[in-house]
Structure 1
Amino acid sequence: MTVTTTTQSERLIDLEDLTPLIETTTSAEPARVYERLRTQWGNVAPVLLEPGVPAWLVLGHRELVTVLRNEALFARDSRNWSLLQDGTVGPDSGVGGVLAPRDGIYYVDGVRHRHLRRLVDDAFESIDEHRLAAITEHWCRIALDRVLAKGRADLVNEYARAVPLLVMSTMFGLDSEQAYAMLSHARRVFQARGAAGREALNAQRSLIADLIASRRAAPSDDLTSAILRHPSAPTDVDVQSAVSATLILGSEFEVGWITQALRLRLADPRFDGRTGGRLSASDTLAAVLGSAPPAPNAAPRFALADTTLGGRKILAGDAVVPGILGASAESRASGDDIWLESGNLSYLTWGAGPHACPARRPATVIAQIVVGEALRRLGGVTLTVPPESLSATGTLWSSVPRELPVRFEEHRPAR
C-alpha cells in the first residue's frame, strides 16, 4: 500500500487535490472511495467538505474510537473550528449553515451537553414500547393504505420519509395535523437552501415552542411533558434544545436506515424471500448497519489542541470527521482491535462516548415495525427500474436511496 505522507509543518489547508467527502455518501460503491482514500493517505485522510473547506476523515477503527471517546481533545462544538473563526466558512455557505454553532444535544459539549443528555435519556427511559409500537403501526397503516390504493409508489418519499417523523412527532405530543406540518417543514429543510431552508427550520422551531408552552400549561403523557417534569427543572430553552435535535435529526437517521433496508429487500437476492432469502426485517436492518449505514460519516469534531492521529499532524481547530463506514470496513481486516466487538461491527453506527446515539432502542423498535409492515402488506412488490440504476442522495453525513419506485402485483389487506 502506498501512503502519502505529510510533514509536521504541513497544514490541512495546504494539501491539494483532495477528494470531496460527498463522494462517500453518493457513490454507487462507497467502499471503493474509502479504500482509495486509505490507500493514498492511511487511516486519516484529508477530504473536502466543500470547495476550499478541508477536513480530516478518520478511516481507522482505533482512530475513530479515540475521536469519539475523547471529548477533552475532540469537541463537537463548532465554535472551536478554525475555518469558522477566521471567516473561511461563512453562515451562508452550505456547510456553514449545517455546522453553525447551535444549542442542542448534538452540538455542545461538557456540562451543557450532559444536562441536555440527561433530559433526553430520562425521557426515552420512560417510553412505553407497546404504545410506541401501536403508534408506529398506526402511521404505517395510513401510509401503506395510500400507496396500495394506487398500485404504484416510491417507497422512499411516500412511505419511509413520512412514517418515522410522524411517529416521533406523535410521541413528543403533536396531534395529527401538527405532525403533518412537522413533516412538511422537514421536507423543506432538507430540500431547500438559503432563506427557504432557514424559513422551514424556523417553522419547525416555532411548532416545537408552541408545543412546549402548551405542555407547560397542561402536561400530558408524551415525551415533551416527561422532559418538562425532569427533576432538574429545565427551562424552555433547555426543552427546545433537547426536543428539536432529537426529533428532527433522529428522524432523518431512521429514514436512511429504513430505506436502505427496503432497498436490500428489493434489490439484493440474498434478502428476497421470493428467491430463497430467509432473513427477517430485524436481520435486514442489522445487515444495513454493517454494510450500508444510514450515516456513513458522523458529524465532525474539532481538535482543541495540536495532536497526532493515525500518523497525521492534527492542528488545533481542524475539523475531524468520524468515518463510520470506512472504519467499519477497516476493522474487518484487523482482528487485534481491543475495542472491536466480536462478530458485530454495526455498533459503530450508534457512535461511542458522550455523543453516542441516545435513542438506540426506540429507533430500533420503529425501524423493525416500519420495514416489517411493508414486507407484510406489500405482497408481490417489484421494483420498476433495474436495481443497478438505483442511486443515492445524501448529505456529507447521510446516504439515502433517491427513490424506490415499485408496483404491486397483489394487494394484501391490513389485518
Structure 2
Amino acid sequence: MYGPGLDGDNLPELYARLRARYGPVAPVSLAPGVYAWLVMGYREVLRLARDERNFSHDPRLWNLPREGRVPSDSPVLAFLGWRPALMFADGRAHRRLRSAVADTLTGIDGRELVRMVRNMAGRLVDSFGEAREVDLVPRYAHRLPALVLARLLGTDDRTGRQLAEAVTGAAAANADSGNAARRMERVLLSLIGHRRRRPGPDAVSRLLAHPAALTEEEVLHNLMVTAVAGYQPTKNWLATSVRTLLTDHSLRSSLDSGLLTLDDVLETVLWRSPPTQNLPARYATRDLCLGGQEVRAGDMLVLALAAANGDPEAVPPRDVPAAGNRGHVSFGAGPHTCPAREQARLIVRTAVEVLWHRRPGMELAVPEEDLVWWTSPWTKGLAALPVRFTAPRTVAVPAPPTLPGPAAGARTPPPPVP
C-alpha cells in the first residue's frame, strides 16, 4: 500500500486482487515493515466502525510500535501517531471532543456558507479570463477549499494556502510527511494564540470557548484533524466530480435532462470514487476473527472505504445510479461519522454549480487515461485536470438552492484576520 505505483488508476484493481485472494479482510503493508489488515467488506467495515469495545481508535494499543517494529521516522506516523483529538478517542472521551467539534461546525450558517463559496468560486472562474485551456486542480479544486478553510478559521488566504499545502504533504505518506505535519502545527498554534487574544465569530474562537473546556493541546490537534478532514477530501471530491461529469456521458446526459439532480451525481461519485480511500485506523482490543482472518490483540485494521463501497455482495451494480442512496461509507460510519459531511456537500455542490454554469462546453484537454493522480495510501485525488473550454463564458450566476435555516445560535464566517 505504498510506492509510486499506488494511485487512483490502479487502486480498484488492487482491491479486487486482494478480495479475490483473501476475502473481505486482507493483510497489507502500509510502509516497509508496517503491517495491517485492510478491511474491504461492507459489512465488516460497518462492524469495525460501530464496535468500539473490540476495535479501539487509540493507536497506543498498536502492537508494532510497542514491540519496537516501527521506525520513529516512518512516514505513516504523521497520520497514525496518537494525539488528543476525537479521531483517536473512544467512548466518553470521544463524545466530549466530538461535541466541541460538532458544535463548532454547527455554528456555520449554511446560507452564508453557500453565498461565500459562490462568490469565491465566481472570482476563481473569472480569473481564467479568456484562456481556452485551464488545469482545474491548481486553479480551482485546490484553491477554493483552501480559501473556504481560511475564511472559516478566521485567517487570511495566505495562511489558508499554507495549511492546504501542509495537509497535502501529510496525506502523501512520504519522507516529508512528518515535516508537513509540523508545519501545519506551527500555523495553527499561531492562529490559536491570536484568537485567544482577539476572539471573533470564527471556528477557532468557538472551539476555544466551548463548554467542554478543551486544553490548548486538544484545541490544536482537533483543529489539525478538522483541517485534514475538511480540506483534502473536499478538494478530491470536487475534482473527481468534475472529471466524472466530463467522462461519464450517461451520467451527464441524465443530469442535463433532469433525470438526476446534481446531488444525485455527487452521491454517485462518493459511491464510485470516495475522496478518502482508506481510513486509519482501528486496533483490536482482543484476539478475534474478522472476515475469516485471525486478528491479534493490538493489530491495526484500516477501513477500506472505497473497497467497501464497491463490495459486490452489499452494493448496487455500477450501472445503477445512486440517486438518493446515501448508504455508502465514504464519510465513515458509527460514532465517528464525519461531523462536517453536510458542510462538505454544500461546498462541493456550489463549486460544481458555479463552474458548470459559468464555463459551459467543457471537455478534457487530454485523454482520460492520461490523467495523473496523487500517490497516497489514504486518499484518491487528481493531481491535474486539464480542461478545454469550447463555449463562451457566461456571467450570471444561478440562484442559490433552497437550504434549511441556520442552526440556533449560528454565526456567519468572519472577515479574514491579517
TM, length-normalised to structure 1: 0.85
Which of 36, 43, 47 is residue 24 of structure 2 equivalent to?
43
Measure how far apart 1:277 and its partner are. 6.4
- CA distance in structure 1 between the aligned counterparts of 2:179 and 2:311, rounded to whole angstroms: 41
User: CA shift at 1:21, angstroms?
Assistant: 6.7
Shift in CA distance, 207/342, structure 1 to aligned 2, threshold 3 Å: closer
C-alpha RMSD of the superposition: 2.8
Contact preservation (8 Å) 2:359, 2:392: yes
Q: Which residues of structure 2 form unaligned runs of 5+?
A: 317-321, 397-418
Counterpart of 1:288 in structure 2 is 269
Q: How many pairs align?
A: 390
- The match for 2:218 is 238
Asked if 1 retains the 8 angstrom alpha-carbon contact of 2:25 and 2:41, the reply is: yes
- Counterpart position of 1:409: 390
1:344 has 2:325 as partner? yes
Partner of 2:402: none
Deviates more, 1:174-183 or 1:208-217: 174-183
1:154 to 135, 154, 164: 135
* Partners of 1:165 and 1:248 within 8 A in 2: no
CA change 1:143–1:186 in 2 (3 A) is farther
Matched, 1:85 2:66: yes
1:125 to 79, 103, 106: 106
Which 10-residue stretch deviates more, 234-243 or 57-66? 234-243
| Partners of 2:25 and 2:293 within 8 A in 1 | yes
Alignment of 1:157-196 (within 5 A): 157-189=138-170, 193-194=174-175, 196=176
- Once the 2 structures are TM-superposed, how far is the Cα of residue 73 of structure 1 from its aligned partner? 1.4
Which residue identity is paired with 1:84?
P
Aligned-pair identity in percent equals: 32
1:289–1:346: 8 Å Cα contact kept in structure 2? no
Q: Distance in 1 between matches of 2:89 and 2:250?
A: 42
Moved more, 228-237 or 118-127: 228-237
* 1:405 partner amino acid: P
Correspondence for 2:231: 251
Name which of 343, 350, 372 aligns with 2:353: 372
- After superposition, the Cα gap between the structure-2 partners of 1:186 and 1:385, relative to the gap in structure 1 and judged at 3 Å, is same
Is residue 6–residue 377 contact of structure 2 (8 Å, CA) maintained in 1? yes
Distance 2:274 2:364 in 1: 22
Conserved? CA contact 2:361–2:389, under 8 Å: yes
Cα displacement string for residues 32-63 of structure 1 (whole angstroms, at most 9, x for unaligned residues): 43232222111211122123322111122221
Aligned equivalents of 1:56, 1:227: Cα separation in 2: 35
Q: Deviations over 1:192-222 (max 9, x none)?
A: 954x544443332222222222222222111
Match among 356, 380, 392 for residue 373 of structure 2:
392
- Which residue in 2 is equivalent to 1:52? 33
Structure of higher RCO (CA pairs closer than 8 Å, 6+ residues apart)? 2
2:281 pairs, out of 296, 300, 307, with 300
Q: Distance in 2 between matches of 1:72 and 1:333?
A: 25
Helix, strand or coil at the partner of 2:76? helix
TM-score for the superposition, normalised by structure 2: 0.85
